[in-house]
Amino acid sequence: MVDAAPRMGLFERYLTLWVGLCIVAGTGLGHVLPDAFASLGRMEVAKVNLPVAALIWLMIIPMLLKVDFGAMRQVGQHWRGIGVTLFVNWAVKPFSMALLGWIFLRHVFADWLPPEQIDSYMAGLILLAAAPCTAMVFVWSNLCRGDANFTLSQVALNDAIMVVAFAPLVALLLGLSSITVPWDTLALSVGLYILVPVAVAVLLRRRLLATGGQARLETVLARLGPLSLLALLATLVLLFGFQGKQIIEQPLVIAILAVPILIQVYFNAGLAYLLNRRLGVAHCVAGPSALIGASNFFELAVAAAVSLFGVHSGAALATVVGVLIAVPVMLSVVRLVNRSRPWYEQGARMPNHGGRDSFARRSTASAMDCSQSPSD
């Protein structure tokens, strides 16, 4: 059973609008009140900005609270879909983003970018792609009538892998991009924004289930949901306030940073979708698999970028651009997945030795599995 709400709420549906308003507000306030934002920027301990860190915890912990790590016991039920998603998330997406960043930032658009910030922009893109999305995937999965058990088990498995794989993967890609790896700060970021939030979320979830059952957990999630998104928006106001002058002087940078992010989303979604179709995976699994493969854990990316490179860095700006375009782009992927369902089910090929008749029977069974899977 998935704890996430089955439909997008007001905040989620219009997240791009709220993000846009926060960009305008933050940029304007940073331009009008530079001393106030400079004071907030100096509130650091061990290179961690305290106001941003507090807001990021408010973002991440409610997201992780939705994840039942016990669902990893179900991974064997959809092993093909799980395998495809893991391959795209961990073997393709981070490396494809690094390649796209190298192509567009270091070559195609290099003349339009400040040379001293290109490494930082590259780092932001790598951080954005290095961790798969968590809670918002439940929304995307529901919108494409995805299998709830698959989505839950995949998210739980990705989060478990992220605990051990995020830091080495980021360090590898930063090294390949000739960017100095601040290992001490990277380790601190993993502890602050992955290990501790996961531990807090797991303990709090167990406590809520033990004292009030599923109903109490859902009540708390409903109350924390808006708080989490408000924390995200407040973080954006701060980040754009810190970078207000730079943004006003260089608005073209945001458009340039959006290019590799957009290409990466559609490429990874399409790759996961086609691989699932080739392997004969049911559409109710292929849909969320494609969406998980395409989406990013932008809350973690923002947190890591701020910790590693600072609130005024190009890395922080690059991750915020990912937040800006996340909702409209992912909704377009949902529409493509839903509209292509007849095509998908007509051409899906099951990996067996039973010939066309067996393929037809197994395709029918897959469709039945979709219709019988729980959606909430």
pLDDT in tens, 91-113: 999 999 999 999 999 999 999 98
The reported pTM is 0.75
Q: Output the pLDDT for position 99.
A: 94
CA triple 248-252-253, angle to 5 deg? 90
Q: How far apart are CA 71 and CA 48, in angstroms?
A: 33
Tell me what percent of the chain is helix, strand and coil, each rounded to the nearest 5. Answer: 80, 0, 15
More confident residue, 182 or 333: 333
Is position 270 within any domain? yes
Does the pLDDT of residue 350 top 50, yes or no? Answer: no
Q: How far apart are CA 26 and CA 218, in angstroms?
A: 33
Q: Output the pLDDT for position 76.
A: 67
CATH of the domain at 143: 1.20.1530.20
Does the pLDDT of residue 247 top 70, yes or no? Answer: no
Average pLDDT in the chain: 79
Q: pLDDT over 70 for what percent of the chain?
A: 81
Is position 350 within any domain? yes
pLDDT tens column, 112-167: 988 888 999 999 999 989 877 766 677 777 778 888 778 877 877 887 888 788 88
pLDDT tens column, 162-176: 878 888 888 888 887
User: Phi then psi for 283, rounded to 5 degrees?
Assistant: -60, -35
pLDDT band at 221 (very low <50, low <70, confident <90, very high): confident
Is position 1 within any domain? no
| Mean pLDDT value across residues 37-48 | 76
pLDDT band at 372 (very low <50, low <70, confident <90, very high): very low
Residue type, 217: L
Is position 227 within any domain? yes
Is position 157 within any domain? yes
Is position 49 within any domain? yes
H-only helix segments in 72-143: 79-86, 93-103, 118-129, 136-143
For the chain, give the number of residues: 376
Most confident option among 61-65, 185-189, 223-227, 317-321:
317-321
pLDDT band at 6 (very low <50, low <70, confident <90, very high): very low
**CA torsion sign, 77 to 83 to 86 to 88?**
negative
Does the pLDDT of residue 323 top 60, yes or no? Answer: yes
Q: Output the pLDDT for position 313.
A: 85
Domain around 261: 10-372
For residues 175-187, b (16+ Cβ closer than 10 Å) or e, as one string? Answer: eebebebbeebbe
| Total domain count, the chain | 1
Is position 3 within any domain? no
Q: How far apart are CA 205 and CA 208, in angstroms?
A: 5
pLDDT band at 353 (very low <50, low <70, confident <90, very high): very low
Is position 311 within any domain? yes
On the 0-12 / 13-18 / 19+ scale of CB atoms within 10 A, 79 is exposed
User: Phi then psi for 133, rounded to 5 degrees?
Assistant: -65, 155
